[in-house]
Amino acid sequence: MNASRSVLGLVELSDSRNGGGYNSGASNVLRDVFQDRLRGWVRAKDQWRLLNNNRVCVILKDMTRGGELELAAAKLGRIFDEPHFHMGRALPLSVNAGFAEIKDCGRDISEAMEQATLALTQAKKSRRLFDVYSDDCTKGPRDERELISQLERALEMGELQLYYQPKVHAGYQSLLGAEALMRWHTPEKQVITPDRFIDVAERYDVIRPMTWWAIKTAVARLARWPTELSIAVNVSPKLLLENEILSVVQDALDIHGVAPKRLNLEVTESIMVDNQDTMLGQLARLREMGTRISIDDFGTGFSSLAYFRDLPVDEIKIDKSFVMHMLKSEKDLAIVKAVINLAHNFSLKVVAEGVEDQHIASALSELGCDVLQGYFFDKPLPVEQFNQNYRL
């Protein structure tokens, strides 16, 4: 092995809460701060490029093996330790990074890019500043491939189910519809929740048949429910890059004779970061068909404010991490209020998810939030149970 090497790094500004401290143009302010800080980190011989407002790719040249990468990472941490002062307030910043060695004299960096992405995901998951891709990580993909083939089989064998969690009117607390959430019933009688398989499914193609199945199943369910009820289905952003979703949705609605406005598609705000034009175009097309679009987990990414104006959507779902603590944390309450006002100024409906008790439900209703969802009303339920609870 060479004594020195080049290392590819992906550095991401994790902003989950910081965006709330900024007003309009938040992403531009943060992007500038992010870039300024990075300039203080890299050396003259390194190269770096902004991939989007909160992610850069760096190539660190001639890194010796004696812990130089760890030193570089520690410096990165220090540089972002200092809060950013904006309009007289100190706003905390934080970053995560994933590193991978560039093999083959840098002729093909796509492999290093993939590996750094895995390391970054790992760092974020374990809440560490950084992670370095090592061959140990290959254990992950092998397990993943096994999981994928199990999922393909599960889909074929009908082991996937949609559970339904009620969405209720904030004022009357009457039923408006449900969010469909996937559950996997294994032959061993285990019920596996989506946090165990959606991420992996999204990295492989199996998310596609799974999502088409979810859309068809939800629309078939709508055909058997009263016409005033709607169902929301989660759609992975990458499926919006292709046209297939348009025909899947249209066919399902046609076959079952269901009014398009009863089908709600939930997409996360991460869609606004990559391939923005394609995504916005597809959302607009789905809306032209008459389906409703919700932005899920709103507030957890920081690109949203800048793009808000042009979003072809009907509804914003405030992320449960803000809702759950809004009566204990003034900052979370401020975010909830801000999102409600912002959405209403754009004539969008606001759904709060993660409503776990009566106090939060009442507070949200007083703030003018439109729709509530959370354990206070019901957990996601198997369809028979849902039908029974709501006399459908």
Binding site for ligand C2E (CB under 6 A): 165, 181-182, 193-195, 198, 211, 214, 234, 236, 266, 296-297, 320, 353-356, 374-375, 380
Q: What does the buried/exposed string (b/e) look like for 150-180 if buried means 16 or more CB atoms within 10 Å of the residue's CB?
A: bbbebbeeebbebbbbbbbebeeeebbbbbb
Q: Which of 269, 296, 315, 370 binds Ca ion (CB under 5 A)?
A: 296
How many of the other CB atoms lie within 10 Å of CB of 243? 10
* Smaller CB separation from ligand C2E, 12 or 266: 266
Residue 198 touches which of ligand C2E, Ca ion, none (CB < 5 to 8 A by kind)? ligand C2E
Rounded to the nearest whole angstrom, what is the least distance from the CB of residue 336 to ligand C2E in the complex?
14
Rounded to the nearest whole angstrom, what is the least distance from the CB of residue 270 to Ca ion in the complex?
12
Q: Token digits for 114?
A: 């993939």
Q: Which of 297, 315, 370, 378 binds Ca ion (CB under 5 A)?
A: 297
Distance CA 212, CA 246 (A): 11
Distance CA 220, CA 263 (A): 11
Q: Which of 46, 131, 266, 315 binds Ca ion (CB under 5 A)?
A: 266
Rounded to the nearest whole angstrom, what is the least distance from the CB of residue 185 to Ca ion in the complex?
20
Nearest to 316 by CA among 335, 338, 297: 297
Alpha helices, DSSP H, located in 57-197: 68-79, 110-125, 139-156
Rounded to the nearest whole angstrom, what is the least distance from the CB of residue 223 to Ca ion in the complex?
22
Q: Which stretch binds Ca ion (CB under 5 A): 103-111, 203-211, 258-266, 285-293?
A: 258-266
Residue 236 touches which of Ca ion, ligand C2E, none (CB < 5 to 8 A by kind)? ligand C2E
* Smaller CB separation from ligand C2E, 6 or 373: 373
Rounded to the nearest whole angstrom, what is the least distance from the CB of residue 162 to Ca ion in the complex?
12
Task: Report the SS3 class of residue 35.
Answer: helix
Q: In this chain, which residue has its C-beta nearest to ligand C2E?
A: 374
Residue 57 touches which of Ca ion, ligand C2E, none (CB < 5 to 8 A by kind)? none
Rounded to the nearest whole angstrom, what is the least distance from the CB of residue 84 to Ca ion in the complex?
27
Helix axes 207-222, 244-256, angle to 10 degrees: 20
Q: Token digits for 290?
A: 């008459």
* Smaller CB separation from ligand C2E, 42 or 233: 233
Distance CA 59, CA 36 (A): 17
Q: Which stretch binds Ca ion (CB under 5 A): 125-133, 219-227, 289-297, 361-369?
A: 289-297
Rounded to the nearest whole angstrom, what is the least distance from the CB of residue 104 to ligand C2E in the complex?
35
* Smaller CB separation from ligand C2E, 73 or 263: 263
What are the DSSP calls for 179-195, one per residue?
EEEEEEE-TTS-EE-GG
The answer to whether 12 contacts Ca ion (rule: CB under 5 A) is no
How far apart, in Å, do the first and last CA atoms of the chain sit?
67
Burial of 353 (C-beta count, 10 Å sphere; 0-12/13-18/19+): buried
* Smaller CB separation from ligand C2E, 9 or 354: 354
Rounded to the nearest whole angstrom, what is the least distance from the CB of residue 11 to ligand C2E in the complex?
25
62 dihedral zone (left: phi>0; alpha: psi -120 to 50; beta): left
Q: Which of 14, 96, 217, 234 binds Ca ion (CB under 5 A)?
A: 234
Rounded to the nearest whole angstrom, what is the least distance from the CB of residue 312 to Ca ion in the complex?
18
What are the DSSP calls for 318-387, one per residue?
E-HHHHTTTTT-HHHHHHHHHHHHHHHHTT-EEEEE---SHHHHHHHHHTT--EEESTTT---B-HHHHH
* Smaller CB separation from Ca ion, 276 or 321: 321
Q: What's the angle, vertex CA 332, arms to CA 123 and CA 35, rounded to 5?
A: 45
Q: Token digits for 16?
A: 């989950």
Q: Which residues bind Ca ion (CB under 5 A)?
A: 234, 266, 296-297
